[in-house]
Amino acid sequence: MTVTSPLQVLVPDSVVVASTAAEYDAFAALIREYWGWLRTRYADHPGLMDGIGAHQGLQSELAAVATAYGPPEGKTLLALRNGEVCGGVAYKNLHDGSCEMKRMFVPERFQGHGTGRLLCESLIETASSDGFHLMRLDTGYLNAEATRMYESMGFSPCAPYRDYPADVLPHLRFMEKPLAAG
């Protein structure tokens, strides 16, 4: 007797703009997972991620994700695969014609399909369409795979654009990319 299994149809990722409480809750869950992943990655630097999270107001952000990353202060994008949230990213308005990419994360179980690049491309396009002329970001110095992706998409190193404690700055990389606003 031959047993056959149904073929799983792989549906390409789609990207949606968060607009409902459930979508913002899904983004908050991704941020929590991301922060856990960062704590593991930076385990050789005890307290670093908790210090950065406290400096950034992470707990307040998580309590009001739609306010932090929804209109008018920002925009949140979620990647969906077969109806399941498989990644997310947001931008935050810096109120000088630029915006900051925030909380880009694709959990390891969803990696390897170009989801991070799709989210980044979509966020750049969205921010450009929304009239921003520059996108900035910061990432940890151990996040080499993200840094390589950002560089391949036209981001280049820049001076810190946010105030961080002096002991944190060596652990961060700041980047920016001009946008064709319009």
Tell me if 88 is assigned to some domain. yes
CATH number of the domain residue 127 falls in: 3.40.630.30
Q: Evaluate whether residue 163 is within a structural domain.
A: yes
C-alpha angle 114-141-107 in degrees, rounded to nearest 5: 35
Query: How, if at all, do strands 14-17 and 74-81 pair?
Result: antiparallel
Residue at 3 is within a domain: no
pLDDT band at 28 (very low <50, low <70, confident <90, very high): very high
Answer whether residue 7 is part of any domain.
no
- What pTM value is reported for the model? 0.90
Does a structural domain hold residue 51? yes
Give the three-state DSSP class for 92: strand
Question: Per residue in 56-98, pLDDT tens?
Answer: 999 999 999 999 999 999 999 999 998 899 999 999 999 999 9
Q: How far apart are CA 28 and CA 63, in angstroms?
A: 9
In a domain, 8, yes or no: no
Structural domain harbouring 146: 14-178
CA angle 86, 89, 95 (to 5 degrees): 165
The CA distance from 122 to 17, in Å, is 10
In a domain, 104, yes or no: yes
- pLDDT grade, residue 105 (50/70/90)? very high
- Total domains in the chain come to 1
Decide if pLDDT at 13 tops 90: no
